[in-house]
Amino acid sequence: MTDAPAPALDVRSDICWSDETSVTVLGRDLCTDLIGKVDLGAFAFLLLTERMPADAEAALFNAALVSLVEHGITPNALATRLTYLGAPESLQSAVAAGLLGLGSRFVGTIEGSAQYLAAGASSLGADADDDAIAAEAARIVDGFRSRREHVPGVGHPIHKPVDPRAEALLDLATSLGFPSVPGRLLRAVSAAASEASGRSLPPNITGAIGASVVLLGVDWRIARGLGVIARTVGLVGHLREELAEPMANTIWRTTDDSATRHLRP
């Protein structure tokens, strides 16, 4: 008696398959259709939407990625540099350490803003007037405030009274002819949140990328992935600089000295 064959594993992926001579990505031959013919942004757009971008979509998508690649010595960059100090044999671990900090305060707010902008734009429709948009914005802000949550996509600790990156991206979307409602809703949310809090909370870059996500038809549940893609490039750049002009050891030693000074006789 022979053993019965094991049942086939019932899983499916339509993204990619390969054989001895080819690699096929979403129905496109990697070597003949993609390599040398599309840039990384267009390839990323393909994987996130299962279609190639139109020219205006490619311009907005690439601009959204570029806007978030770099923002200086942020906590994410510090985590990457310090991890590399301890494990220089593992560049990928250092980059991963920085990416793990993309959450509700840094970069990850793309997801939250994209969620409420997608829902709001769908509810309002393409022909919404300013009064309807203002009412929807007030409802959104009231919801966050009732839950004692920060409104994602507005406010910035450095950029005041405006986040220039957000303005550049929103202006680009307008100049490329995209529908206006997501951007107008973000600005209305900014106004409502500013009035409710009593302080200036301008649209920030993650909010502008959230609006771009809606305009590009990217699922809001993977919107944070744009931040992951962009900031990965920036963190590798920080490691390039760390090799040439190291600062991690100085940060460690200086912080340790300051933090333990009160313990010394």
- Residue 176's alpha-carbon distances to 55, 63, 64, 157, 211, in angstroms, are 9, 12, 13, 30, 14
pTM over 0.85: yes
Cβ pair 77, 234 in contact under 8 A: yes
Query: Cα angle at 68 between 65 and 71, to 5 degrees?
Result: 155
Partners of 59 in the beta sheet?
none
State phi, psi for 9 to the nearest 5 degrees.
-70, 125
Which domains are assigned to the chain?
110-218 (1.10.230.10)
- Cis-peptide, bond into residue 161, ω within 30° of zero: yes
pLDDT values of the chain reduced to their tens digit, one per residue, 265 residues: 567 777 788 899 999 999 999 999 999 999 999 999 999 999 999 999 999 999 999 999 999 999 999 999 999 999 999 999 999 999 999 999 999 998 878 887 999 999 999 999 999 999 999 999 999 999 999 999 999 999 999 998 888 899 999 999 999 999 999 999 999 999 999 999 999 999 999 999 999 999 999 999 999 999 999 999 999 999 999 999 999 999 999 999 999 999 999 998 8
The reported pLDDT for the residue numbered 2 is: 63
Cβ pair 234, 73 in contact under 8 A: no
Could you tell me the two tokens for 6? 């094991």
Q: What is the 3-state secondary structure (H, E, C) of the chain?
A: CCCCCCCCCCCCCCCEEECCCCEEECCEEHHHHHCCCCCHHHHHHHHHHCCCCCHHHHHHHHHHHHHCCCCCCCHHHHHHHHHHHHCCCCHHHHHHHHHCCCCCCCCCHHHHHHHHHHHHHHHHCCCCCHHHHHHHHHHHHHHHHHCCCCCCCECCCCCCCCCHHHHHHHHHHHHCCCCCHHHHHHHHHHHHHHHHHCCCCCECHHHHHHHHHHHHCCCHHHCHHHHHHHHHHHHHHHHHHHHHCCCHHHHHHHHHHHHHHHHCC
